[in-house]
C-alpha cells in the first residue's frame, strides 16, 4: 500500500518546477464549524492559485496521506469535522495500519509534504511550548518536526496561547532559522508584535527564497520558519487578547484539559469570549499567509530554473 497519494495536478507542477504550497487539514476538521471550514479551506486554495501557485491540501484518507485533496475530499473532511482525529507523528502508524482518516497537524503536514517533495507549507500559527511547560512538559511536536524535516513553514508566528520566549529558545536549540517577513519582531498570531526579535528580517520574496535555497544547497536538515504579521486591520490589541487568553487558560486548567486537546479548546473558547473576533482574525491571517507563502514559493521556483 502506498504511503502517499499525490494529486496529478500537484505531481505535474512539481515535475515542471512550478510553485506548490502545502496546506493542513486540522484547520478544516477542528478549526471551525461546517460549512465555514470548507469555505475557508477552498478560499485559501483560491488565494494560492491567484498568486500563481498550486495548492496541496494534505489529509489522511483510509490510511493514505493525500497530497492535494479534491474539493469533494475537503467537503467530506468539513462534514466529518472533529470526528476525524488530529494526527501527529506518533499517531501515523496507527492511522495507517487501521486505514483510518486523519487531520494533519503542522508536524504531520510537514512530514507528508516532504514525502511528496513539496517544500513550502502555509498555516495559521505553529504549536510550541505551552505556558507552564516547566511543570507539565507540554511542548508541541511541531517544534521537533521543524528541527528535522526539510519544509519551509510560513505562518503568523506561534499561537498566542503559548509561551513565546520559551518557544523561540527551543527553536534556537533545534537550529531552526526564525525569519520575519518585513518585520524584526516575532508576530504573536492575533497581534503583529510580541516584543521578541526574530533571527533575521526578510526584505522581500526573493530574499526569503534565496535563504531557503542556500539552506538546501548546504545540505542542512530541518525546516525554516517564516513569520508573517497579521494585517493591521485585523490585529487585536495585545492587552485585550492576552486577558482573554488568561481567562481561557484558567478555565482549561479547571476542567483538567491536557495534551493535544488544549489548543482546540483554547482557540474555541477564545472565539466564544471575543464574540467571534479572534476566529475572524485567524481566518484573515491564514489568507495573508497564503498570499505571502505562495509568492515566496514562486520566487524560489524562479531561482531554481
pLDDT in tens, 12-30: 999 999 999 999 999 999 9
Last residue in a domain, options 72, 94, 118: 118
SS3 63: coil
Quick: pLDDT tens for 281-303: 999 999 999 999 999 999 999 99
| Residue 55: its H or E element | strand 54-61
| 159 given a catalytic annotation | yes
> Among 72, 209, 191, which residue's Cα sits nearest to residue 154?
209
Q: Are 113 and 148 contained in the same domain? A: no
Q: Which three cell numbers stand for residue 42?
A: 477552498
Distance CA 109, CA 34 (A): 22
Q: Are 208 and 186 contained in the same domain? A: yes
Q: Residue 253: which pLDDT band, with cuts at 50, 70 and 90? A: confident
Secondary structure of 172-238 as H, E, C letters: HHCCCCEEEECCCECCECCECCCCCECCEEECCHHHHHHHHHHHHHCCCCCCEEEECCCCHHHCCCH
What strands, in cross-sheet order, belong to the sheet with 152-155?
4-6, 64-67, 54-61, 20-23, 120-122, 152-155, 224-227, 178-181, 200-202
Q: Are 156 and 277 contained in the same domain? A: yes
Q: Residue 1: which pLDDT band, with cuts at 50, 70 and 90? A: low
Q: Are 149 and 231 contained in the same domain? A: yes
Q: Are 57 and 196 contained in the same domain? A: no
The CATH number of residue 142's host domain is 3.40.1790.10
Q: Are 226 and 248 contained in the same domain? A: yes
Distance CA 54, CA 101 (A): 24
Last residue in a domain, options 118, 140, 175: 118
| 24 given a catalytic annotation | yes
Quick: pLDDT tens for 196-240: 999 999 999 999 999 999 999 999 999 999 999 999 999 999 889
Q: Which three cell numbers stand for residue 261?
A: 486537546
Contact 187, 180 (CB under 8 A): yes
pTM of the model: 0.94
Quick: pLDDT tens for 30-87: 988 899 999 999 999 999 999 999 999 999 999 999 999 999 999 999 999 999 999 9
Contact 2, 61 (CB under 8 A): no
Q: Are 154 and 271 contained in the same domain? A: yes
Quick: pLDDT tens for 97-128: 999 999 999 999 999 999 999 999 999 999 99
Q: Give pLDDT, residue 159.
A: 84
Q: Are 104 and 186 contained in the same domain? A: no
User: ∠ at Cα 66 (34, 102), nearest 5°?
Assistant: 55
Domain interval for residue 39:
1-118
Q: Are 91 and 105 contained in the same domain? A: yes
Q: Considering only residues 266 and 29, tell me which one the structure prediction assigns the higher pLDDT.
A: 29
If one counts the domains in the chain, the total is: 2
Question: Given 45, 159, 295, 298, which residue is catalytic?
Answer: 159
Q: Are 163 and 290 contained in the same domain? A: yes
Q: What is the largest CA-CA distance in the chain?
A: 55
Q: Are 188 and 269 contained in the same domain? A: yes
Q: Considering only residues 241 and 267, tell me which one the structure prediction assigns the higher pLDDT.
A: 241
Question: Given 24, 45, 75, 145, which residue is catalytic?
Answer: 24
Q: Are 168 and 291 contained in the same domain? A: yes
> Among 208, 210, 214, which residue's Cα sits nearest to residue 154?
208
Last residue in a domain, options 74, 89, 118: 118
Q: Which three cell numbers stand for residue 147?
A: 528541527
Amino acid at each position: 500500500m502506498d504511503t502517499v497519494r499525490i494529486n496529478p495536478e500537484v505531481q505535474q507542477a512539481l515535475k515542471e518546477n512550478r510553485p506548490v504550497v502545502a496546506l493542513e487539514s486540522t484547520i478544516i476538521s477542528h478549526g471551525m464549524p461546517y460549512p465555514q471550514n470548507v469555505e475557508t479551506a477552498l478560499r485559501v486554495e483560491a488565494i494560492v492559485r491567484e498568486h500563481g501557485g498550486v495548492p496541496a491540501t494534505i489529509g489522511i484518507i483510509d490510511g493514505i496521506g493525500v497530497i492535494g485533496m479534491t474539493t469533494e475530499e475537503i467537503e467530506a473532511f468539513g462534514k466529518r469535522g472533529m470526528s476525524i482525529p488530529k494526527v501527529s507523528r506518533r499517531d501515523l502508524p496507527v492511522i495507517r495500519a487501521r486505514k483510518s482518516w486523519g487531520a494533519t497537524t503542522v508536524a504531520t503536514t510537514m512530514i507528508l509534504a516532504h514525502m511528496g517533495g513539496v517544500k513550502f507549507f502555509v498555516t495559521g500559527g505553529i504549536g510550541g511550548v505551552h505556558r507552564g511547560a516547566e511543570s507539565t512538559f507540554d511542548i508541541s511536536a511541531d517544534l521537533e518536526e521543524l528541527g528535522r524535516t526539510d519544509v519551509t513553514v510560513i505562518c503568523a508566528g506561534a499561537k498566542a496561547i503559548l509561551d513565546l520566549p520559551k518557544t523561540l529558545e527551543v527553536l534556537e536549540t533545534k537550529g531552526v532559522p526564525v525569519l520575519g517577513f518585513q518585520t524584526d519582531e516575532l508576530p504573536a498570531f492575533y497581534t503583529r508584535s510580541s516584543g521578541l526579535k526574530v533571527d533575521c528580517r526578510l526584505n522581500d520574496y526573493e530574499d526569503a527564497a534565496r535563504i531557503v535555497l542556500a539552506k538546501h544547497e548546504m545540505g542542512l536538515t530541518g525546516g525554516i520558519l517564516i513569520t508573517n504579521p497579521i494585517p493591521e486591520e485585523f490585529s487585536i490589541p495585545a492587552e485585550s487578547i492576552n486577558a482573554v487568553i488568561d481567562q481561557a487558560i484558567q478555565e482549561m486548567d479547571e476542567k483538567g484539559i491536557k495534551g493535544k486537546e488544549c489548543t482546540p479548546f483554547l482557540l474555541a473558547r477564545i472565539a466564544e469570549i471575543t464574540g467571534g473576533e479572534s476566529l475572524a482574525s485567524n481566518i484573515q491571517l491564514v489568507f495573508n499567509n497564503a498570499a505571502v507563502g505562495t509568492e515566496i514559493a514562486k520566487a524560489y521556483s524562479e531561482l531554481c530554473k
